[in-house]
Structure 1
């Protein structure tokens, strides 16, 4: 039986959110529309885009390691 909530699933989800928001911050129309709020619930997406752009090398390495984990070890 599998767990509905697992730590590795949470890591994969957070990495996907960070990578998606960092990509959307590079597109001007999406940046104005989606990442303009810096506080509140939508501020989480703004903060994720900042993490993705400033820490792009560790985020990319973590994505590769998570991919290897999911494909080979899990």
Structure 2
């Protein structure tokens, strides 16, 4: 089990969450419903913006290398 407040938890939980929200941005119904800028659901919008600006392949490769070899 991975602790969310450690670096491992951020890598294992945070990066897939960010990239999932970035993919939600491409689905029209989810974009209107889930990715609003205001309210409590603004976290999903901010994660989607971060996910579209990060380079997905590079960060996922770094995460896999860290989890497999360093952890």
CA deviations 1:43-67 (Å, max 9, x no partner) are 01001101111x232x431111011
Q: 1:69 aligns with which of 42, 66, 69?
A: 66
Pairwise CA RMSD: 2.0
* Counterpart check, 1:60 vs 2:57: yes
Shift of 1:39: 2.2
**Judging changes above 3 Å, is the alpha-carbon distance between structure 1 residues 8 and 23 closer, same or farther for their aligned structure 2 residues?**
same
Distance 2:11 2:43 in 1: 16
| TM-score relative to the length of structure 1 | 0.76
Query: Structure 2, unaligned stretches of length 5 or more?
Result: none
**Judging changes above 3 Å, is the alpha-carbon distance between structure 1 residues 29 and 16 closer, same or farther for their aligned structure 2 residues?**
same
Shift of 1:16: 1.1
Shift of 1:29: 1.4
Size of the aligned set, in residue pairs, is 70
